Amino acid sequence: MWHEIAPDQQHNVQVDGHNVVVYSFGAGDEVLLCLNGGPGLPCDYLRDAHGWLKDNGLRVVAFDQLGTGASARPTDASLWEISRYVEEVETVRQALDLGRVHLLGHSWGGWLGIEYAIHYPDALKSLILENTVGDIPHLSRELERLRGALGSETVAMMQRHEAMGTLDHPQYQAAITLLNYRHVCRLDEWPAPVTRSLGDWNMGPYETMQGPNEFLYVGNLKDWNRLPQMTDFRMPVLITTGQHDELTPACAMRMKMAVKHAELHVFPNSSHMPFYEEPQAYFPVLLDFLARHRG
């Protein structure tokens, strides 16, 4: 299954006057364009999990979104808008002359993938929505349910620190750490690409768009909901999630109900990263879907 390999090519693409670094594995017309989560994370964790798929006849492309990784890191908060990121994806696609692509979006990359599919449907052969949602207000309610499992006293403590703005308190951080191990990655030891990405997190885009952590959405995407627009999707759509995902199976089911022809797979032993937690189940599903929608 997955293993880290060096990209075959590295490209520099100018986006909004800034440099964006793009990584490419393999060659050919069947392009899997990967949009990683965050916002504010380098693409290492998603790129290194999927780069080996070049051995299956795919060209795999991923990039450090503006503000992350090896790309430029401007500090202008007005850049951290989903509409600007949509145009960034399109700029990368055109600059590398990728043609019509299979677009894979994980987590925040899934929100971006949905938004891109609304604006550029003809650029897509298929859309793969991994561990993501189409309705963030619904997600916020699901996250309250998940942290409710910590117990009423712990939730009250978290709400008190959120109200006071003391999110760096050890009590609060301990609760977030437990939630992360339950609902982000359930492996005892997180893979090196994951720790690399998390260790280089740019909190500027993250806090502007999402919020201070994975379980509190207060940024400019807090009211984002594209389920009504998703009913118009005509491209093949694959939705995947983990049974224990922070972006819950209930969120995935709402997307499935919006996109009637979509396929939905729930991996029973995974949370937010089935490509690391359950690769023996995840990759056959992905490869089967891609094989059926080539051309």
pLDDT tens-digit profile of 48-60? 999 999 999 999 9
**Dihedral (C-alpha) 262, 238, 280, 143: value to the nearest 10 degrees?**
-90
At 116 the pLDDT is 98
Catalytic residue among 50, 102, 106, 107: 107
Euclidean distance between CA atoms 202 and 68, whole angstroms: 6
Active site residue 140: no
Among 45-49, 132-136, 151-155, the minimum mean pLDDT is found in: 151-155
Hey, how many other C-beta atoms are within 10 angstroms of the C-beta on 17?
Answer: 7
Euclidean distance between CA atoms 210 and 212, whole angstroms: 7
Asked if residue 155 has pLDDT above 90, the reply is no
Euclidean distance between CA atoms 264 and 38, whole angstroms: 23
Active site residue 197: no
Work out the percent of the chain whose per-residue pLDDT is above 70.
100
Query: Was domain 9-136+188-293 assigned CATH 3.40.50.1220?
Result: no
Q: What is the pLDDT of residues 20-77, one digit of tens each?
A: 999 999 999 999 999 999 999 999 999 999 999 999 999 999 999 999 999 999 999 9
Q: Which two tokens stand for residue 123?
A: 């650029």
Q: Where are the domains of the chain?
A: 9-136+188-293
Asked if residue 146 has pLDDT above 80, the reply is yes
Instruction: Give all strands of the β-sheet with 101-106 in edge-to-edge order.
Output: 9-15, 18-25, 59-63, 31-35, 101-106, 124-130, 237-242, 263-267
Asked if residue 290 has pLDDT above 90, the reply is yes
Q: Tokens 């009504």 label which residue?
A: 228
Q: What secondary structure, in 3-state letters, does 47-92 show? A: HHHHHHHHHHCCEEEEECCCCCCCCCCCCCHHHCCHHHHHHHHHHH
Catalytic residue among 44, 245, 270, 271: 245
Catalytic residue among 50, 102, 244, 272: 272
At 41 the pLDDT is 96
Core vs surface per residue 152-166: b (16+ CB within 10 A) or e:
eebeebbeebbeeee
Active site residue 107: yes
What pTM, to 2 d.p., does this model score? 0.93
